[in-house]
Amino acid sequence: MEGPTGVVFPKTDAGRSTSALGRAVVADALRAADPVGARSAEHETNWRHGYLGHFRRLVEAGLLSRDAAVAIARDGLASLHRRMTVVRDDGTEIGLDQLFTTEAGDAPLDTATVTGTGDPDRELTLPYRGRRLRGDELLRRLDAWVTAGVVEPSCAEAVRAVAANPDWLDLRDQRVVVLGAGAEMGPLPSVLRWGGDVVAVDLPRPEIWRRLLQTAHRYGGRLHVPVPAGTDDAALAEHAGADLLHRLPQVADWLLGVDGRLVLGNYVYADGATNVRVATAVDALTRHLQERRDDVALAFLATPTDVFAVPGDAVRHAERGYAARGVLRRSLRAASGGRLLHRNYPPDADPGVNDSLVPQQGPNYALAKRLQRWRATVARDAGATVSFKVAPPTRTRSVLRNRALAAAYAGAHRFGIEVFEPATSNTLMAALLVHDLRTGAPAQPHPWQDEAYGAAHGGLWRVPYAPRSALGLAVLLGLGGART
């Protein structure tokens, strides 16, 4: 059969258009809170390049009130679920919301459990620049990051709390589901190192599972893996895994049968339009599990290259840097006719709006990540435990494949932005997840404050310049040092 199967974009006169879907979902999300913004999104003729302002508007319209922010999230998700469809293996097409009400047709999944041979680590340590920081050295690094504006003070406070309570690292009372188990940014290695239980879901690709099984054997936790019935332990890597785009009901039934409190962690990623498809599949799975279990906590990692409302303290930090800028940077701004090195925020903004969207990542990436933010907002508003954390810029494989982004990351330090190695990022983010699971994370008056709490943005929120106005320079400065 021609065309994609599984979770797919809806048909339009132009085919299965990603731009049409993006315009419609953003417009529907804005309609109640910002009717003018909704009409603007609907009439955007060049979505591929014009999406940036509309995604910013989603954040700005939500600042009107808590109710406005929740309504935008709720309406955006409803639009997505109403529009996306599923093409089954036999070519029949059904609505996304019908997926779990029809016969799955697939054999149920069994569970294979791998118990590690290592001793659980009961001390929080952080890999950083060739060292493993612990104790006072870790605390000094947190202080240095706060001073430099690399992380929010609430991030450092949360990590300090975990370091001071090492018993929190024992996650045997949780079942940490890692969707996208092979992701570089996911918590799987740390949770296994600390002796916890990881329920791993990723594509049925032996190269992924060989790596994950090696990690599981090395550490002190337990890895629970979906496999077809009758799979032999010797052939585990060859048969493990499940495709969320095509076998969603099968995965849902498997997770419904997992004993213990579920922490549903969303770490999935795919290139291009597939990213929206898999993000939608995970959101459908999330809603299905929440409707059938009352013990589901959610975990998300947000990209720092998005639009966020940020605290007034971050704005003041950026303003001090802007006031202290050197002659060369003032001259560059003047010579460019004001196109380069814009001020990051209007003076005294509280909250400020940090727009770190990167055009090279495209509207599909922006929509996939925004869906996760919307689900976090709606779930938290309904009383669920949600760990939502802004992760730092990180040298992941997906970033380094893009030459412009790799160069920008290589030159970012010239503007006060720290780009992290994957091992540092995923350990730091795992520690923040532990904090939220053990404390519930403090309740905030507005969803933007929930998103800002504990953020490790790498400096993007506190640099003097609007990130896109420095992006071209960062690329030029980094071209010689970009990794290949």
- What DSSP string runs through 373-404? HHHHHHHHHTT--EEEEEPPPB--HHHHTSHH
When the pLDDT of each residue in the chain is averaged and rounded to a whole number, the result is 93
Residues 345/318, Cβ–Cβ less than 8 Å? yes
Q: Which amino acid would we find at residue 94?
A: I
What pLDDT does residue 479 have? Answer: 80
Give residue-wise pLDDT tens across range 51-97.
Answer: 999 999 999 999 999 999 999 999 999 999 999 999 998 889 999 99
Three-class secondary structure of residue 230 per DSSP = coil
Question: Would you tell me the crossing angle of helices 66-83 and 362-381 to the nearest 10 degrees?
Answer: 120
What pLDDT does residue 336 have? Answer: 61
Smallest CA-to-CA distance from 231 within 204, 256, 207, 212 is with 204
Q: What share of the chain is helix, strand, coil (3-state, %, to 5)?
A: 50, 15, 35
- Span 355-372, average pLDDT: 95
Smallest CA-to-CA distance from 55 within 453, 373, 334, 274 is with 373
Q: Which two tokens stand for residue 129?
A: 């620049």
Residues 261/297, Cβ–Cβ less than 8 Å? yes
Dist CA 157 CA 64 (whole Å): 29
Whether 231 has a pLDDT exceeding 60, the answer reads: yes
Q: How far is CA 94 from CA 19, 45, 205, 286, 359, in A?
A: 21, 29, 27, 19, 33
Give residue-wise pLDDT tens across range 401-410.
Answer: 888 888 888 9
- Span 320-334, average pLDDT: 72
Whether 483 has a pLDDT exceeding 50, the answer reads: no
Could you give the maximum distance between any two Cα atoms of the chain, in Å?
70
Higher pLDDT, 368 or 3: 368
What pLDDT does residue 42 have? Answer: 97
Q: Which two tokens stand for residue 169?
A: 């690292």
Whether 399 has a pLDDT exceeding 90, the answer reads: no
Smallest CA-to-CA distance from 41 within 58, 23, 25 is with 23
What pLDDT does residue 332 have? Answer: 62
- Span 111-130, average pLDDT: 96
- Portion of the chain with pLDDT greater than 90, in percent: 81
Domains in the chain, start-ordered, CATH in brackets? 6-98 (no CATH), 109-305+363-392+418-463 (3.40.50.720)
pTM of the model: 0.94
Q: Which residues of 309-331 are buried (b: 16+ CB within 10 A; e: fewer)?
A: bbbeebbbbbbebbeeeeeebee
What pLDDT does residue 259 have? Answer: 94
- Span 96-118, average pLDDT: 88
Dist CA 157 CA 150 (whole Å): 14
Least confident among 59-68, 250-259, 323-332, 443-452: 323-332
Q: How many CB atoms lie within 10 A of CB 233?
A: 9
Smallest CA-to-CA distance from 53 within 70, 30, 81 is with 30
Least confident among 35-44, 174-183, 300-309, 400-409: 400-409
Whether 216 has a pLDDT exceeding 90, the answer reads: yes
Higher pLDDT, 257 or 341: 257
pLDDT range class, residue 98, cuts 50, 70, 90: very high
Whether 482 has a pLDDT exceeding 60, the answer reads: no
Give residue-wise pLDDT tens across range 233-274.
Answer: 889 999 999 999 999 999 999 999 999 999 999 999 999 999
Whether 484 has a pLDDT exceeding 50, the answer reads: no
Q: Which amino acid would we find at residue 407?
A: A
Residues 270/277, Cβ–Cβ less than 8 Å? yes
- Span 320-343, average pLDDT: 72
